[in-house]
């Protein structure tokens, strides 16, 4: 029988959690303060610790440090009634397995406890019963998650708010899911939940929105990650304007193949978006592999740039992931008037004038078209499965990318 230690100074929390966990077959240990909790941890060696942050004398962060000193692989789930992304990021960075916000959800408590002991989710997370659709036949690609939790700090490009995100492993068939802090709503990274496009791709649940998801999804696409929990406030950090830091964090966490598989979306007929204006073109056709041919034609100093990407992770990390977000100064000023782009800084956004780059040195001569490829790789992963086919794009952005994803879902899934 797995042991769960609850450390919380609120008796009603301990009593409620005890009833729920005991009913699910766990052996529950209880402590009303940090000192007592450490003593029980030492003597009983619980499998999971549910630890409140805000306690008198020895607070939860201090207890977490002590537990990690005594057993560096201990599974500690931090609980807070004043949940913020900064508290969550700090806790996980210090070694917490996960973070829960009060008021607690029964389903989430059981899901996190079960996941932490490797038993999978006992109940479906509250994401409108969203699950990855798995083919009943032989699968061609194994599902993947990350090997351990990891955290990253940054600034939101459009909100300008200092933020961060926590990436956590998830069981098979969960999909990539965002969980907003502090309200705890879960939103799948799936085309049905796309809320707005244009300057960035966003998804929306009942009450919350998560913005600027394309760089994270781009990296997940190329690493083959199909199951992931992303805890964030309202916007994925922009980092340096590229996806390279996300790749580094995935490499640090590692990836794990899972037992179940996922059928790639195999393009069996050409799909071409119609009625596109201003020379735009976007189509996908049958191909033996994953390939993107992108042509970008804009005013100086960008000019005409073309890039052919042939779907390997190695090429993605070296040639696509470092390419940064860009825009003209006049567009940047317009974004500011719209209340967007306020997180753009000298080090995370390529700012252009008609004469050239204003604020940085380009990483590639054709960095602009490479970033367009990066965004397209991310947007197309809103189907949460690999694609086998060739995409041809000219002048397109998030709006057209999302339209193509919707058409693919309608025709093939």
Q: For residue 164, how many other CB atoms are within 10 A of its CB?
A: 22
The DSSP element (H or E) to which 71 belongs, if any, is none
Of the candidates 158, 215, 221, 398, the residue annotated as catalytic is: 398
What phi, psi does 339 have (nearest 5°)? 80, 20
β-strands 48-52, 75-80: how paired?
Answer: parallel
**314 exposed, middle or buried (CB, 10 Å; 0-12, 13-18, 19+)?**
exposed
Q: What is the strand order of the sheet 48-52 is part of?
A: 27-31, 3-7, 48-52, 75-80, 98-101
Q: For residues 294 and 372, is the Cβ–Cβ distance under 8 A? A: yes
CA distance 4 to 22: 9
364 Cβ neighbours under 8 A, 6+ residues apart = 319, 322, 323, 370
334 Cβ neighbours under 8 A, 6+ residues apart = none
Axis-axis angle for helices 214-223, 244-253 (nearest 10): 50
Q: Beta partners for 167?
A: 150, 230
CA distance 88 to 100: 8
Three-state secondary structure call for residue 258: strand
CA distance 371 to 384: 21
Q: What share of the chain is helix, strand, coil (3-state, %, to 5)?
A: 30, 30, 40
129 annotated active-site: no
DSSP classification of residue 235 = B
Give the residue among 118, 93, 108, 130 at the shortest CA–CA distance from 50.
Answer: 108
Concatenated DSSP letters for 8-57?
-S-HHHHHHHHHHHHHTT-EEEEESSHHHHHHHHHHH--SEEEEES--SS
Active-site annotation, residues? 398
């Amino acid at each position: 029988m797995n042991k769960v230690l609850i450390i919380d100074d609120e008796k009603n929390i301990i009593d409620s959690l005890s009833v729920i966990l005991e009913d699910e077959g766990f052996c529950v240990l209880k402590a009303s303060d940090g000192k007592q909790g450490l003593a029980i941890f030492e003597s009983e060696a619980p499998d999971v610790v549910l630890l409140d942050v805000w306690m008198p004398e020895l607070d939860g962060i201090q207890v977490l440090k002590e537990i990690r000193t005594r057993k560096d692989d201990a599974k500690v789930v931090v609980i807070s009634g004043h949940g913020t992304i900064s508290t969550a990021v700090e806790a996980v960075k210090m070694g917490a397995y996960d973070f829960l916000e009060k008021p607690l959800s029964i389903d989430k408590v059981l899901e996190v406890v079960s996941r932490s002991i490797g038993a999978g989710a006992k109940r479906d997370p509250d994401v409108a019963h969203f699950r990855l659709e798995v083919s009943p036949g032989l699968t061609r690609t194994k599902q993947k998650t990350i090997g351990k939790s990891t955290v990253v700090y940054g600034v939101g490009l459009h909100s300008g708010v200092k933020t961060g995100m926590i990436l956590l492993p998830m069981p098979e068939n969960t999909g990539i899911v965002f969980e907003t802090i502090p309200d705890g709503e879960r939103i799948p990274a799936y085309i049905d939940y796309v809320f707005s496009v244009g300057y960035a791709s966003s998804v929306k649940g009942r009450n919350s929105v998560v913005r600027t998801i394309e760089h994270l999804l781009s990296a997940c696409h190329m690493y083959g990650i199909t199951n992931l929990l992303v805890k964030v406030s309202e916007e994925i950090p922009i980092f340096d304007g590229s996806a390279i830091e996300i790749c580094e964090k995935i490499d640090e966490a590692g990836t794990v193949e899972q037992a179940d598989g996922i059928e790639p979306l195999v393009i069996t007929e050409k799909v071409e978006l119609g009625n596109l204006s201003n020379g735009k073109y976007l189509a996908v056709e049958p191909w033996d592999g994953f390939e993107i041919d992108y042509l970008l034609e804009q005013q100086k100093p960008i000019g005409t740039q073309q890039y052919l990407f042939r779907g390997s992770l190695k090429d993605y990390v070296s040639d696509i992931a470092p390419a940064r977000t860009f825009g003209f100064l006049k567009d940047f000023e317009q974004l500011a008037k719209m209340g967007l782009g306020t997180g753009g800084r000298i080090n995370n956004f390529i700012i252009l004038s008609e004469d050239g780059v204003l604020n940085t040195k380009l990483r590639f001569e054709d960095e602009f078209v490479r970033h367009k490829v990066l965004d397209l790789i991310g947007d197309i992963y809103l189907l949460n499965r690999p694609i086998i086919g060739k995409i041809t794009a000219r002048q397109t952005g998030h709006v057209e990318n999302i339209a193509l994803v919707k058409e693919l879902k309608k025709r093939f899934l």
